[in-house]
Amino acid sequence: MRISTWPRRGLVTTATLGLAIATAALSLSITGIAGASEPSGDVASTEVEFSVVTSNNSGLPCATTPGNERAVVRGHLTGPRSEIDSSHVKGTLYSHGDGYAEYFWRYPGDGDYNYVDEMARRGHVSVSIDRLGYGASDKPNGNSLCFGVEADVLHQIVGQLRQGSYKGDRTPRFDRVGLVGHSASGLIADQEVAAFHDVDALGVLDSGSLNATPLVLQRAAEQQARCALAPDAAAALLNPRSPAGYAALEADGAQFSSDHIANVEPDIARDLVDRRTKDACAGTRNSAQALAGNPVRNNLITVPVLVLAGAQDRLFPNPGLHAATYTHSSHVTVREVRDAGHAVAFARTAPDFHNDMDNWLDSTGL
């Protein structure tokens, strides 16, 4: 496995860093990559829908029984008009983390932070979604939406993208598919790729296992207490079709801001706090299991991997530690975005984030 980072200002240096996982030693070589591609073409975006079942064939057991319900995941296909008007494309599926929704990737408040539009201007096709339980997507019982179920749902979406069997005004078939997950979705994406081997590249942003801080498990435990104390807790546990079973990961907006936001414009920061979401109780209920399982299962991943984090991330810093778990990947790229926190897409250094993502997408043929 080769691990690389991209230096700033075109400098090329070489270094070696020993990273231990189990008994394996990994080397870190720092190499230069070509600059970001130029914006191209008109940007087009269209609504898409994916019919899925809340099953769990991921191999990651859950503490609760999956609901096996039919549900709809909704999102958008965005890219250069000439690309998404064609019958075959290559592109990337993006899944947001806990506390967010599709707006993490398709932000309506300020065009400078609309990631999928920016990638489209640079020639890339994106599919951004609301995870089940968020935004415009269906909201099954949150006690049945563990990370294994969500990995299975992502697998179903990848299959529909490859077949062109999803719904929308434009439904091109994807000849190449990348998968990128932020925060909790990074752990979910890990499990999807390890189980199903159906994507061409994997991106894990502000997420990980060996680099998770104690604050991650603390917030998970606090959310579980809120799940147990919710007025509808009994109904949510007893009725598998109840839309209940959700609670916020952070206690309030101030705690969310402290955990997620660094070097963000004040108006954007306030909007992110106002938009924060409730999260499925089954996800954090199984978080310790997911954190323990990922380092073991990530050696099943062979495709190129990007591990990226904000340099001031309080939840998942030091992306190089998590990168060490991909022992069989053909190439692992490690990036830290300067002056950015967990909400890496919204820091004032978002242009650096965009350049890093553009470079990596280009390098993987996406």
First to last CA, the chain: 21
Which residues partner with 201 through β-bridges?
A: 178
Calpha distance 160→143 (Å, rounded): 26
Number of domains in the chain: 1
pLDDT at 35: 39
Q: What is the CA radius of gyration of the chain?
A: 19
**pLDDT the model gives residue 29:** 32
How high is the pLDDT of residue 304? 97
Output the CA angle 56-62-65, nearest 5 degrees: 70
pLDDT for 39: 42
Q: CATH number of the domain that 90 lies in? A: 3.40.50.1820
Look up the pTM and report it.
0.88
Q: What is the pLDDT of residue 229?
A: 81
Q: Please tell me the chain's helix, strand, coil percentages from 3-state DSSP, rounded to the nearest 5.
A: 35, 20, 40
3-class DSSP state of 339: coil
Provide the pLDDT for residue 286: 75
pLDDT at position 182? 98
- In DSSP notation, 60-106 reads ---SS-----EEEEEEEEEEEHHHHTSSEEEEEEEE--TT--GGGTS
Q: What is the pLDDT of residue 3?
A: 53
> What's the pLDDT score for residue 15?
31
Task: Tokens for 233, please give them.
Answer: 């807790």
Q: What is the mean pLDDT of each run of 10 residues along the chain (366 residues)?
A: 44 31 33 38 92 92 78 97 94 97 95 96 97 96 91 98 96 98 96 97 96 93 87 59 82 96 97 96 78 80 97 96 94 97 98 98 97
Domain ranges, residue 352: 3-363
